[in-house]
């Protein structure tokens, strides 16, 4: 059976209420998405330490799944929305969603010796270091440029025996890679409990001992390497927290930054770190710095 997908533009102060109203009116599911995702105005939804938790973005898309015979015009009118509201409707065909999702993720070569392999695939190169990954509900499959940039740095720079903190660990992919590349101790932190659980499961699948936790559970301590693949605004606000975990002479690696925003992030970290803009891929920048 096909469905209808309604994509409705709403401001942040109405997103939650309209989401609830759509569910009450019979929507099968409703998601809130950032209308500014992938632009300089993109912002984190969840509260990081030092940031308020806005609960939703300033400009949102509400994406609702409806029965195929739903009367969208009547539905919007019943919600008290004007007739000229910005929205899109498309038909969603019935599909095997598990197979469709899995088909989007193939093994990803990070370097000649490091591969990311989804759990439903065979490793292409038995001689390579292979990270078996099931992202679950967490961000981080290795397919996004920001993740690849961090993986490439880890592969090129870890020599074995390091202590590594992955702040904003998502699926745990960077932490697991660090462990597989020989790091002596690896800690991952994420604000999302589902991400923490997915990371723990992925570490177990890869046979590595990483510690994953929520931010409030992170103890004081210094690391040789701190890597943070988040977004520009959280990275700017988190500078004091991240810097406090990097030992003198240690390295910080930052990603999730649009190339146009690299300069402003570097400026915030420059008093504490000798910063470099050392790589760019598809408009995303990777920064690294040595703790002074």
Total number of domains in the chain: 2
Look at residue 243 and tell me whether its pLDDT is greater than 90: yes
260 DSSP assignment: G
Mean pLDDT of 88-108: 63
Asked if residue 109 and residue 87 are part of one domain, the reply reads no
One domain for residues 13 and 156: no
Q: Are residues 205 and 69 part of one domain?
A: no
Give the pLDDT band of residue 100 (cuts 50, 70, 90): very low
DSSP code, position 77: H
Q: How far apart are CA 182 and CA 128, in angstroms?
A: 14
Give the β-pairing of 211-213 and 223-229: unpaired
98-112, 137-151, 182-196, 230-244: which has the minimum mean pLDDT? 98-112
Helix (H) or strand (E) holding 162: none
pLDDT the model gives residue 43: 65
Output the pLDDT for position 141: 58
From CA 287, how far away is CA 254, in angstroms rounded? Answer: 5
Top pLDDT among 82 and 182 is at 182
Q: Is the pLDDT of residue 170 over 50?
A: yes
From 94, 126, 142, the end of a domain falls on 94
Print the domain residue range for 272: 100-291
> In the beta sheet, which residues pair with residue 188?
166, 212
Joined together, the tokens standing for residue 198 give: 């997915």
Query: For residues 52 and 46, what is the distance between their CA atoms, to the nearest angstrom?
Result: 8
In a shared domain, residues 131 and 257? yes
User: How many whole angstroms separate alpha carbon 141 and alpha carbon 209?
Assistant: 20
Q: Are residues 73 and 182 in the same domain?
A: no
State residue 85's pLDDT score.
Answer: 84
**Phi and psi of 250, rounded to 5°?**
-80, 180
Say yes or no: 107 and 236 in one domain. yes
Average pLDDT, the chain: 85
Same domain as 131, residue 62: no
Q: Residue 46's pLDDT is what? A: 47
pLDDT for 78 beyond 80? yes
The Cα–Cα gap between 156 and 204 comes to: 24
Higher pLDDT, 191 or 95: 191
- The predicted model gives 7-32 an average pLDDT of 86
- The per-residue pLDDT for 137 is 44
Long-range contacts of 82-85 (CB under 8 A, 24+ apart): 85/8, 85/9
Q: Mean pLDDT throughout 261-270? A: 96
Q: Please check whether residues 49 and 127 belong to one and the same domain.
A: no
Residues 221 and 279 in one domain: yes
Per-residue pLDDT tens over the stretch 125-149: 677 788 887 655 445 556 688 998 9
Q: Is the pLDDT of residue 250 over 90?
A: yes
Boundary residue ending a domain (48, 71, 94): 94
**Residue 13's domain is classified under what CATH number?**
3.30.70
162 shares its domain with 276: yes
Q: Which pLDDT does position 56 carry in this prediction?
A: 58
Q: Is the pLDDT score of 74 beyond 70? A: yes
Q: What is the pLDDT of residues 195-205, one digit of tens each?
A: 899 899 999 98
Average pLDDT over every residue of 33-47: 70
CA distance readout (Å), 74 to 69, 80, 83, 124, 172: 12, 10, 10, 52, 44
My answer on whether 244 and 287 are in the same domain is yes
Tell me the pLDDT band of 287, cut-offs 50, 70 and 90: very high
Q: Out of 64-73, 120-129, 263-272, which region has the weakest mean confidence (pLDDT)? A: 120-129
Alpha-carbon gap, residue 126 to 119, rounded angstroms: 15
170 Cβ neighbours under 8 A, 6+ residues apart: 135, 138, 139, 140, 190, 195, 198, 199, 229
Other beta carbons less than 10 A from residue 202's beta carbon: 28
Are 289 and 274 a contacting pair, CB within 8 Å? Answer: yes
Task: Give the dihedral sign, CA 171/174/180/184.
Answer: negative
**pLDDT at residue 291, rounded to an integer:** 98
Answer yes or no: do 26 and 138 share one domain.
no
Q: What is the pLDDT of residue 172?
A: 92
More confident residue, 270 or 136: 270
Please state whether beta strands 185-189 and 129-133 pair in parallel, antiparallel, or not at all (unpaired): unpaired
State residue 105's pLDDT score: 67
Stretch 79-92: mean pLDDT: 83
Strand (E) or helix (H) holding 86: none
Q: Which of 134, 157, 139 is nearest to 229 (CA)?
A: 139
- For residue 247, the model assigns a pLDDT of 98
How many other CB atoms sit within 10 Å of the CB of residue 80?
8
């Amino acid at each position: 059976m096909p469905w209808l997908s309604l994509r409705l533009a709403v401001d942040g102060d109405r997103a939650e209420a309209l989401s609830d109203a759509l569910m009450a009116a019979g929507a099968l599911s409703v998601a809130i998405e950032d209308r500014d995702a992938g632009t300089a105005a993109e912002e984190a939804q969840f509260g990081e330490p030092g940031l308020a938790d806005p609960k939703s973005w300033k400009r949102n898309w509400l994406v609702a799944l409806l029965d195929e015979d739903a009367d969208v015009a009547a539905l919007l009118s019943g919600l008290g929305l004007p007739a000229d509201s910005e929205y899109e409707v498309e038909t969603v065909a019935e599909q095997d969603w598990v197979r469709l999702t899995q088909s989007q993720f193939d093994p990803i070569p990070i370097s000649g010796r490091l591969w990311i392999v989804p759990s439903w695939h065979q490793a292409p190169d038995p001689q390579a270091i292979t990270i078996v990954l099931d992202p679950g509900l967490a961000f981080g499959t290795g397919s996004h440029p920001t993740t690849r940039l961090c993986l490439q740095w880890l592969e090129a720079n870890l020599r074995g025996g390091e202590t590594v903190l992955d702040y904003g660990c998502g699926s745990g992919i960077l932490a697991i890679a660090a462990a597989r590349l020989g790091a002596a101790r690896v800690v991952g932190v994420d604000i999302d409990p589902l991400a923490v659980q997915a990371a723990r499961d992925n570490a177990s699948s890869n046979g590595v001992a990483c510690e994953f936790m929520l931010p409030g559970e992170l103890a004081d301590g210094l690391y040789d390497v701190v890597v943070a693949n988040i977004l520009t605004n959280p990275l700017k606000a988190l500078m004091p927290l991240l810097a406090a975990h990097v030992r003198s002479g240690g390295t910080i690696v930052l990603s999730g930054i649009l190339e146009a925003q690299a300069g402003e992030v570097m400026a915030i970290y420059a008093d504490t770190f000798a910063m470099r803009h050392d790589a760019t891929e598809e408009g995303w920048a990777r920064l690294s710095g040595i703790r002074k």
